[in-house]
Amino acid sequence: MTESQEHQTSGNYPPPKNTINPDTELGWIRRLLPITRSHRKPLVIGVCVGAIALILNVAVPAIAKEAIDSTIAGSRYDLTIWALILIVVGLARFATGALYRISLFRVAWGVETDLRALLYSHLTKLSFSYFDRTQSGQVISRANSDIRSIQVLLAFGPLIAMSIISFILAFCFMMTLHIPLTLVALCTLPGVYFFGQKLRHSVFPLTWVSQARLAELATIVDENINGTRVVKSFAAEKQQVGLLQKAARHIEWVNVQTIKERAKFNPIIESLPRIGMAIVLLYGGILAVDGEVSIGTLFAFNAYVIMLQAPFRMFGFLLLQTQRASASASRIFEVLDEKPEITDSSSAVTLIGVRNSICFQGVSFSYKGSRSPGVQEKQHAKSEIISNLDLSISAGETVAIVGMTGSGKSTIARLLTRFYDTETGSILIDGIDIKEIQLHSLRQQIGIVFDEPFLFSTSVSENISYGKPDASDAEIHEAARKAQALGFISELEDGFSTVVGERGYTLSGGQRQRIALARCLLEKPSVLILDDATSAIDIGVESLIHESLKSSLEETTTLLIAQRVSTIALADRVVFLEGGCISDEGSHSSLLSRNPRYASIIAESNPEMMKELN
């Protein structure tokens, strides 16, 4: 897909302008700065207007001081002037306060949106091996709660930072009024800093554990929703509820410990400024009685002490949210820093079609990691699935790949589409190593239909046209006809507009397979891979599909991964795999007559043949 095409498919939603700083040695805030700079306009507006709002906010007690002193002096004119000034300042403070809050919140939501887009875009580029070893709940947690933690800090952090700046401005003005009284007002602040640091060090590890436990819970919920039919069929609801309760208890324990730490330090952090206020009232009152300060000055100091309390009341929240955002950012960066194992080379070419042949030359491969990608081919992590495989397929040829479970049939399909890369050897298409072909063009030319097709929770029409969104209704209907899906689709309540359920489970297995086949045929790929793609379809319907495919696949190179005789009969040649190697090849009839192991596998997979063999 070209850049212009990618932009068209995204409609009016262009990708983020910047990504995170790739330097992993930097702190998380500095790594996030490039994304923040993408929203510099509302950021600059928010900061500038916020600065004006702060100045106005700090000016209010000073103006009130003058008004009170004017009242005591008996000057009505001065009182009127100062009152009018207060009204103007109040209105200006309202306008600037609203504008800078809107601007800063826009930055926070913009950064959140960009992070989501970057994370999802990066996930689409990661290799299948990453998803083999990563639980879906871990990914979902990073895309939701972790990004939200950063957004909350970005939304409220600047507001708290503004209150800290107001503290500095208030301190400077207080120093111009009465230095000793100012020092008394600040005498409790070192204690606030000390206990704030204690809170930060105790809360950070708990926050990290909490986010990890939330990801574990998301994994359990995700697996139970997707596997609800398995859970119910084994009457395992009680077991799964117990598993979820265990995970919830772990989250409860972490959060209770966090609350205990906050309960230990936050009351002290919030109370110390109030103690300072009491001292100011006592000492300032004595100064006012002795005539060393005016009543207006004492009022202004009282107002400033209240203003000084604001950042410290929010200090505990800021520390907690900063630690949570730091932990969340680390988890998000873990994903964004993950390097795709399969990428385009700098000299990659575009694949137009398969004109000559597909060649596997000395190919060996084994799945690595804790999670193998398929139940059918689960082996020990270090055992080879494919071993020194040599296979040549001519353009337009139909080849059936047959073998026992775990022999590497589906792995051949995954290697050809570069879902995984070979460990040794190479795969050539028209003499070009597939590692030198652009991934997008390679997969655009290869259509694959799995035995367990995935349908999206959208209309039948949209599922069929998923790979070709601009397809006409006529094209969609023709693809459905070739897949023998037109009949049952027409009988659905809303026909092609019928919305299928989650993963298409409102349809039967055979119906899902036919829609998946139609989706593939619509793109008219140069290479078609059917991985047991008709295993759930009635033999009668399957024969009709095969008749349709014979006419439409004349120029298509086809790989049939199958055990059914009716499917194998489509092939020009059959390749028999054993232990990841080609044990034998030839026509179906010749293999059946000369290879007892092949005949045995076919008989086991086709009970009707057992009678003939006996």
Please tell me the predicted confidence (pLDDT) of residue 3: 40
Say if residue 55's pLDDT is above 60. yes
- Alpha-carbon distance of 118 to 150, in angstroms, equals 14
Residue 577 has pLDDT above 80, yes or no: yes
pLDDT (mean) for 20-41: 88
Q: Is residue 219's pLDDT more than 70?
A: yes
pLDDT for residue 208 is more than 90: no
Q: What is the pLDDT of residues 260-291, one digit of tens each?
A: 887 888 788 778 777 877 887 788 888 878 77
Contact 553, 398 (CB under 8 A): yes
Q: Smallest Cα–Cα separation from 34: which of 336, 311, 248?
A: 336
pLDDT tens-digit map of 74-108: 777 777 888 888 889 889 989 988 898 898 888 88
| pLDDT given for residue 277 in this prediction | 76
pLDDT one-digit tens code per residue, 542-551: 777 777 777 7
Coil, strand, or helix at residue 577? strand
Name the pLDDT band for 12 (thresholds 50, 70, 90).
Answer: low
Strand locations in 473-564 (E): 527-531, 557-561
Enter the tokens of residue 533.
């793609």
Confidence check: pLDDT of 56 > 60: yes
| Distance between CA atoms of residues 248 and 213, nearest Å | 8
> Helix or strand or coil: residue 251?
helix
Identify residue 531 by its one-letter amino acid code.
Answer: D
Helix (H, G, I), strand (E, B) or coil at 246: helix
* Angstrom distances, CA of residue 338 to CA of 26, 134, 408: 16, 12, 28
- 3-class secondary structure, 425: strand
Structural fold of domain 357-613: Rossmann fold (3.40.50)
pLDDT at 614: 44
Instruction: Dump pLDDT digits (tens) for 479-499.
Output: 998 888 888 898 888 889 988
**Average pLDDT of the residues in 558-562:** 88
Residue 53 burial by Cβ neighbours in a 10 Å radius (0-12, 13-18, 19+): buried
Q: For residue 419, report the phi and psi dihedrals to the nearest 5 degrees.
A: -65, -30
CATH code for the structural domain at 28-336:
1.20.1560.10
| Stretch (H or E) spanning 166 | helix 147-177
- Provide CB contacts within 8 A for 45, sequence distance 6+: 99, 100, 103
Residues above pLDDT 70, as percent of the chain: 89
Q: Rg of the Cα trace of the chain?
A: 35
Residue pointed to by tokens 């790949």: 401
247, 220 in Cβ contact below 8 A?
yes
Alpha carbon distance 1, 465 (integer Å): 17
Q: Are strands 424-429 and 581-586 parallel, antiparallel or unpaired?
A: unpaired
Angle between helices 295-313 and 237-289 (to 10 degrees): 160
Domain positions in the chain are 28-336, 357-613
pLDDT at 469 over 50: yes
Is pLDDT at 517 greater than 80 in this prediction? Answer: yes
pLDDT of 383 reads: 66
What are the C-alpha distances in Å from 201 to residues 26, 153, 169, 190, 273? 20, 18, 29, 17, 22
d(CA 36, CA 114): 9
Per DSSP, what are the bridge partners of residue 124? none
Q: Mind listing the pLDDT tens digit for each residue in 437-468?
A: 998 889 888 888 887 888 888 889 999 998 88
Q: Kindly report, residue by residue over 151-201, the tens digit of the pLDDT.
A: 888 887 777 777 777 777 888 888 887 888 888 877 877 777 778 777 777
As beta bridge partners, residue 432 has 429
The C-alpha atoms of residue 303 and residue 60 are separated, in whole angstroms, by: 9
Closest CA to 38 of 117, 122, 110: 110
Q: For 266-330, give the secondary structure using H, E and C.
A: HHHHHHHHHHHHHHHHHHHHHHHHCCCCCHHHHHHHHHHHHHHHHHHHCHHHHHHHHHHHHHHHH
pLDDT at 347 over 80: yes
Q: Residue 307 — pLDDT band, cuts 50, 70, 90? A: confident
The confidence score (pLDDT) of residue 227 equals 67
Euclidean distance between CA atoms 321 and 315, whole angstroms: 10
pLDDT at 381: 43
Phi, psi of 389, deg, nearest 5 = -85, 130
pLDDT value of residue 436: 92
pLDDT digits (tens, 9 = 90+) for 125-163: 888 888 878 777 777 778 777 888 888 888 877 777 777
On the question of pLDDT at 4 being above 50, the answer is: no
CA distances from 217 to 152, 249, 252 (A): 22, 10, 12
Query: Kindly report the CA angle at 173 between 172 and 175, in degrees rounded to 5?
Result: 65
Beta bridge partners of 136: none
388-419 pLDDT, tens per residue? 999 999 988 889 999 888 888 889 989 999 98
Residue where the block lists tokens 């826009």: 106
Task: Report the pLDDT value the prediction gives residue 503, as an integer from 0 to 100.
Answer: 72
Q: What is the mean pLDDT of the chain?
A: 81
Q: What is the number of alpha carbons within 13 Å of residue 249 lying toward its C-beta?
A: 6
CB within 8 Å of 386: residues ≥ 6 apart: 363, 364, 365, 366, 408, 411, 412, 415, 422, 580
List the one residue out of 511, 531, 390, 504 whose CA is nearest residue 447: 531
Looking at residues 3-22, what average pLDDT do you find? 63
